[in-house]
Amino acid sequence: MDFKKLFSLQKDLDARIIEEHNLLGEVLFSQKALALQVEVGELANQTRCFKYWSNKSPSQKEIIIEEYVDCLHFILSIGIDKDFDDIEPSCTKFNYNITEQFLDLFVDINDFVTCSSKDNYVTLFEDFLSLGKNLGFTPDEIENAYLKKNEINLERQTAGY
Which band of pLDDT confidence, cut at 50, 70 and 90, is reported for residue 161?
confident
CA dist 12 → 6, 50, 76, 82 (Å): 10, 35, 12, 16
Asked if the model's pLDDT at residue 86 lies above 80, the reply is yes
- Phi, psi angle pair for 54, to nearest 5°: -125, 145
Give the pLDDT score at 148: 96
42 burial type by CB count under 10 A (0-12 exposed, 13-18 middle, 19+ buried): middle
The answer to whether residue 94 scores a pLDDT higher than 70 is no
Residues 6+ apart with CB under 8 A from 107: none
The DSSP output letter for 97 is -
Question: pTM here?
Answer: 0.94
Task: Report d(CA 146, CA 91) in Å as an integer.
Answer: 17
Question: Cβ(161)–Cβ(19) under 8 Å?
Answer: no
Residue 95, pLDDT score: 65
What is the rounded average pLDDT for all residues in the chain?
Answer: 94
Residue 90 has a pLDDT of: 85
Query: For 19-61, how does the pLDDT look when each residue is reduced to its tens digit (9 = 90+)?
Result: 988 999 999 999 999 999 999 999 999 999 999 999 999 999 9
